[in-house]
Amino acid sequence: MQKPTYGRFGGQFVPEVLMPALNELEEEYERYKEDPEFLRELNYYLTEFAGRSTPLYHARNLSKKYGTKIYLKREDLVHGGAHKLNNTIGQALLAKYMGKKRIIAETGAGQHGTATAMAGANLGFETVVYMGAKDVERQRMNVYRMELMGTKVHPVRSGSMTLKDAINEALRDWVTNVENTHYLIGSVVGPHPYPMIVRDFQSVIGTEVKQQIMEKEGRLPDSIVACAGGGSNAMGIFHPFIEDTDVKLLPVEAGGCGMQVQGKTAMHSASLGAGEEGILQGARTLILQDKYGQILESTSVSAGLDYSGVGPELAHLAETGRIQPGSVNDKEALDAFHELCRLEGIIPALESSHALAYIKKMADTGELGDLVVVSLSGRGDKDLETVLKVKTTASEEKL
Partner 1 sequence: MRIADKFRELKAKNEKALIVYVCAGDPSSEDTGKYVHALVKGGADIVELGLPFSDPVADGPTIQAASDRSLEAGMNPDVYFELAASIKEQVPLVCMTYYNLIFRRGVETFVKDCAASGITGIIVPDLPIEEAEDILKACKAHGVDMIFMVTPVTDRDRMQKIFSKGSGFLYIVSRLGVTGARADVARSTKEILEKVNTTLPRAVGFGISNGKQAAEVIAAGADAVIVGSAFVNIIASQDNVEERLEQLSRELKTGCSGQ
Judged by the rule CB under 8 A, the positions of this chain that interact with partner 1 are 1-3, 11-17, 19-21, 158-159, 164-165, 168, 171-172, 175-179, 264, 277-282, 284, 287, 289, 291-295
Q: Which of 107, 103, 104, 101 is nearest to 84 (CA)?
A: 107
Helix, strand, coil content of the chain in percent (nearest 5): 50, 20, 30
Given the complex with partner 1, which of 2 and 395 has the nearer CB atom?
Answer: 2
Which of ligand PLP, partner 1, none has residue 127 at its interface (CB below 5 to 8 Å by kind)?
none
Of residues 215-234, those binding ligand PLP (CB under 6 A): 227-234
377 belongs to the binding site for ligand PLP (CB under 6 A): yes
Contact between 373 and 213 under an 8 Å Cβ cutoff? The reply is: yes
Kindly state the smallest distance separating residue 108's Cβ from partner 1, in Å: 15
Peptide bond preceding 53 in cis form (omega within 30 of 0) = yes
Which of ligand PLP, partner 1, none has residue 73 at its interface (CB below 5 to 8 Å by kind)?
none
Which of partner 1, ligand PLP, none has residue 164 at its interface (CB below 5 to 8 Å by kind)?
partner 1
Applying CB under 6 A, the site for ligand PLP has a residue count of: 21
Mark residues 39-78: x for contact with ligand PLP by CB under 6 A, - for none. Answer: ----------------------------------------
Q: Parallel, antiparallel, or unpaired for β 126-132 and 102-107? A: parallel
- Give the ranges where 33-108 is alpha helix by DSSP (H): 36-44, 60-66, 84-97
Kindly state the smallest distance separating residue 337's Cβ from ligand PLP, in Å: 12
Given the complex with ligand PLP, which of 69 and 311 has the nearer CB atom?
Answer: 311
Q: What is the identity of the amino acid at 254?
A: A
Of residues 333-372, those binding ligand PLP (CB under 6 A): 349, 351-352
Of residues 277-316, those binding ligand PLP (CB under 6 A): 304-305
Given the complex with partner 1, which of 23 and 392 has the nearer CB atom?
Answer: 23
Given the complex with ligand PLP, which of 178 and 317 has the nearer CB atom?
Answer: 317
DSSP 8-class letter at 263: T
132 belongs to the binding site for ligand PLP (CB under 6 A): no
User: What residues act catalytically?
Assistant: 84, 106, 377
109 belongs to the binding site for ligand PLP (CB under 6 A): yes
Q: Say which residues have a Cβ less than 8 Å from residue 286's Cβ, sequence separation at least 6.
A: 9, 271, 272, 275, 276, 277, 278, 309, 310, 315, 318
Distance (Å) of CA 180 to CA 174, 185, 198, 226, 344: 9, 16, 21, 35, 46
Of residues 171-190, those binding ligand PLP (CB under 6 A): 187
Q: Which stretch binds ligand PLP (CB under 6 A): 19-27, 107-115, 242-250, 272-280?
A: 107-115
**How many C-beta atoms lie closer than 10 Å to residue 203's C-beta?**
17
269 belongs to the binding site for ligand PLP (CB under 6 A): no
What's the CA gap between 277 and 216, in Å, rounded? 41
